[in-house]
Amino acid sequence: MNRYQTVYGVYRPEKPKFTIQSNIISLKELDTTLFNVKMAYHTYLKNYDGLLLRDVMLFSDDGRFCSFMMSEETRIESLIIEENPWLMADEVGFYVIQNDTVMVEYFTNFQGGQYHTFKGVISNEEGLRIFEYYQGLGRFKAKINKPYRAFLNPIEEVFLH
pTM above 0.85, yes or no: yes
DSSP run (H or E) holding 111: none
Boundaries of domain holding 90: 3-160
Contact indicator for 132, 143 with CB cutoff of 8 Å: yes
pLDDT reported for residue 57: 97
Question: What confidence tens digit (pLDDT) does each residue in 58-116 have?
Answer: 999 999 999 999 999 899 999 999 889 999 999 999 999 999 999 999 999 877 789 99
pLDDT reported for residue 1: 63
Number of domains composing the chain: 1
Q: How far is residue 90 from each of residues 56, 85, 125, 127, measured CA to CA in Å? A: 11, 9, 28, 22
Contact indicator for 130, 150 with CB cutoff of 8 Å: yes
Number of H helices, E strands in the chain: 1, 13
* One-letter amino acid of 40: A
pLDDT reported for residue 42: 96
Mean pLDDT score, 130-139? 86
Terminal-residue alpha carbon distance, the chain? 33
* Residues 86/8/80/103 CA torsion (nearest 10 deg): 30
Question: What confidence tens digit (pLDDT) does each residue in 9-47 have?
Answer: 888 998 898 989 877 778 888 998 989 999 999 999 998
